């Protein structure tokens, strides 16, 4: 169902899409106009005879990787595929770096052994979270190899691409060493897109310890913006001491609104109205390794604004969009836009859902090469269908895909040429390539 929502133009959506692709080393050859000549959506969804994924007429999908497959390194594909980034590699190759939101005692890490951040206590078994990398032929999308690239972490949820060709993978679990695990968790790690196997994990502690969700990088400044998946979350930015070298430390801040509004969630009424732009300031945070897991409450006490479960975030040229999964008066989800292109940063509410038919618990998101937002739904229940949603620059939401299995969507990202949308079905893990008449 195509539904009219709050109307707002993406004044720089085209630039955002091209910049986002360029930031990951991707080209934009062959992409069309940002408006698709004024067309919105792709029509109704066609039932999949295989019972996996309904898509519009003329679209098709291919399963690239799935739970339990034996990978090139001899390990198996773990479950809980979440955030994912796409990177151009030399020689006509593509790398997909894929998160696995695995928890000790609930998920198998795929039999991985070797270098890891942390291990199950009194053993050499890495904790099950981390990343896998899939290398594809850019022309045929044939999988040439796949392997584990990060091990020994917990609940790697989402993350973000960097302009220098790496994936920031974020732990959505603030867990302390307790005798069952050996180290504190709740960090961001950096995985080079061209890593050929398990990396030596380095927690980027100066970026904060909290319930991380996603990240994006402003390619002009090197500043990293981070979301937090909590009901009372903050939006963070990390100013590195050296641009592009996050391990060398920096300063962590939280977003505040200069007009005094402290709560953007709109749960008790409309405190942050659609269409309105509000100036932003940034509050310095201390004790960012947060042994008490109180970074957000200390930030809020200093005046930082609250968000409802900040999740997916995507950077364009001078602006970014991020989902607040349970935000809004109907608690069905919001999308905020943060403009950092001028002398004063400004925040506006781009989209707030009032009906599940419009949008229901948006999570990961990306910007399509033609300027629409592509958003992954993350809702669970026996009668709930999760959709892949498009949102046009005019503010109209439309269905792009429907999962026929009870799984959230995750990790949406486009190929270097803009012709293929890669996306995950969370559990059981399936990574898909969707092709069709995008433009």
The DSSP element (H or E) to which 95 belongs, if any, is strand 93-100
For residue 133, count other CB atoms closer than 10 A to its CB: 25
Backbone phi and psi for residue 251, each to the nearest 5 degrees, phi listed first: -120, 135
Q: What is the pLDDT of residue 30?
A: 28
Q: 279, 289 in Cβ contact below 8 A?
A: no
Asked, as a colleague might, if the bond just before 157 is cis with ω within 30 of 0, I would say no
Q: Residues 211-249: pLDDT tens digits?
A: 999 999 999 999 999 999 999 999 999 999 999 999 999
| Distance in Å from the first CA to the final CA of the chain | 20
Q: What is the pLDDT of residue 12?
A: 38
Q: What is the pLDDT of residue 317?
A: 82
Q: 327, 309 in Cβ contact below 8 A?
A: yes
Considering only residues 14 and 75, tell me which one the structure prediction assigns the higher pLDDT.
75
Backbone phi and psi for residue 193, each to the nearest 5 degrees, phi listed first: -65, -25
Q: 394, 388 in Cβ contact below 8 A?
A: no
Residue 152: C-alpha distances to residues 116, 229, 287, 324 (Å): 4, 21, 25, 28
Give the total number of structural domains in the chain. 1
Backbone phi and psi for residue 58, each to the nearest 5 degrees, phi listed first: 90, -10
Q: What is the mean predicted confidence (pLDDT) over 299-311?
A: 98
Q: What is the DSSP letter of 14?
A: H
Q: How confident is the model at residue 393 (pLDDT cuts 50, 70, 90)?
A: confident
- Whether the predicted pLDDT of 258 surpasses 50: yes
Domain that holds residue 412: 3-435
Q: What is the pLDDT of residue 27?
A: 31
Q: Residues 147-177: pLDDT tens digits?
A: 999 999 999 999 999 999 999 999 999 999 9
Asked, as a colleague might, if the bond just before 395 is cis with ω within 30 of 0, I would say no
| CATH code of residue 378 | 2.120.10.30
- Whether the predicted pLDDT of 1 surpasses 50: no
Q: What is the pTM of this model?
A: 0.91
Considering only residues 396 and 112, tell me which one the structure prediction assigns the higher pLDDT.
112
Q: What is the 3-state secondary structure (H, E, C) of 127-178?
A: CCEEEEEEEEECCCCCEEEEEEEEEEECCEEEEEECCCCEEEEEECCCCCCC
Q: Residues 425-439: pLDDT tens digits?
A: 999 999 999 999 998
Q: How confident is the model at residue 122 (pLDDT cuts 50, 70, 90)?
A: confident
The pLDDT mean for the chain works out to 91
Q: What is the mean predicted confidence (pLDDT) over 182-209?
A: 98
R_g (Cα) of the chain, nearest Å: 20
Where are the strands (E) in 166-217, listed by range?
A: 166-171, 188-192, 212-217
Q: How far apart are CA 423 and CA 414, in angstroms?
A: 9
Q: Residues 12-71: pLDDT tens digits?
A: 333 333 333 333 333 322 223 344 677 899 999 999 999 999 999 999 999 999 999 999
Count Cβ neighbours within 10 Å for each residue of 229-238 and write b for 16 or more, e otherwise: bbeebbbbbb
Q: How far apart are CA 88 and CA 97, in angstroms?
A: 11
Q: What is the mean predicted confidence (pLDDT) over 81-97?
A: 98
pLDDT exceeding 90 applies to what percent of the chain?
A: 84
- Whether the predicted pLDDT of 11 surpasses 60: no
Q: What is the mean predicted confidence (pLDDT) over 326-352?
A: 96
Beta-bridged to residue 334, according to DSSP, are: 324, 352
Tokens of 252: 């962590």
H helical segments located in 157-302: 295-301
Q: What is the pLDDT of residue 34?
A: 45
């Amino acid at each position: 169902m195509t539904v009219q929502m709050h109307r707002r133009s993406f004044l720089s959506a085209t630039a955002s899409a091209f910049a986002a692709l360029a930031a990951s080393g991707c080209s934009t050859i062959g992409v069309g106009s940002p408006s698709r000549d004024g067309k919105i959506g792709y029509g109704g969804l066609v039932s999949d005879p295989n019972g996996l994924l309904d898509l519009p007429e003329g679209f098709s999908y291919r399963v690239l990787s799935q739970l339990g497959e034996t990978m090139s390194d001899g390990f198996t594909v773990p479950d809980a595929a979440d955030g994912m980034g796409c990177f151009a590699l030399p020689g006509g190759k593509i790398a997909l770096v894929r998160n696995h939101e695995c928890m000790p005692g609930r998920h198998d890490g795929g039999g991985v052994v070797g270098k890891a951040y942390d291990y199950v206590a009194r053993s050499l078994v890495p904790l099950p979270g981390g990343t896998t990398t899939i290398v594809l032929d850019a022309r045929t999308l044939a999988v040439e190899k796949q392997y584990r690239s990060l091990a020994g972490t917990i609940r790697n949820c989402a993350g973000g691409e960097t302009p220098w060709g790496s994936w920031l993978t974020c732990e959505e679990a603030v867990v302390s060493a307790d005798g069952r695990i050996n180290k504190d968790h709740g960090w961001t790690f950096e995985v080079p897109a061209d890593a050929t196997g398990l990396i030596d994990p380095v927690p980027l502690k100066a970026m904060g310890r909290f319930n991380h969700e996603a990240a994006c990088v402003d390619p002009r400044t090197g500043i990293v913006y981070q979301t937090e998946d909590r009901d009372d979350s903050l939006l963070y930015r990390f100013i590195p001491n050296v641009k592009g070298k996050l391990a060398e430390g920096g300063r962590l801040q939280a977003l505040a609104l200069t007009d005094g509004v402290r709560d953007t969630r709109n749960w008790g009424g409309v405190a942050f109205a659609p269409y309105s732009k509000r100036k932003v300031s940034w509050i310095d945070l201390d004790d960012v390794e947060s042994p008490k897991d109180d970074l957000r409450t200390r930030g809020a006490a200093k005046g930082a604004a609250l968000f409802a479960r900040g999740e997916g975030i995507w950077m364009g040229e001078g602006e970014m969009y991020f989902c607040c999964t349970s935000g809004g008066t109907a608690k069905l989800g919001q999308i905020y836009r943060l403009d950092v292109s001028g002398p004063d940063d400004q925040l506006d509410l781009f989209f707030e859902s009032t009906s599940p038919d419009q949008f229901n618990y948006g999570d990961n998101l990306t910007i399509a090469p033609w300027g629409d937002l592509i958003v992954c739904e993350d809702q669970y229940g026996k009668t709930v269908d999760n959709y892949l949603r498009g949102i046009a620059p005019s503010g109209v939401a439309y269905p792009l895909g429907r999962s026929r299995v009870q799984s959230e969507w995750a990790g949406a990202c486009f190929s270097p040429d803009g012709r293929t949308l890669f996306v995950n079905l969370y559990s059981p893990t399936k990574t898909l390539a969707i092709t069709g008449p995008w433009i």
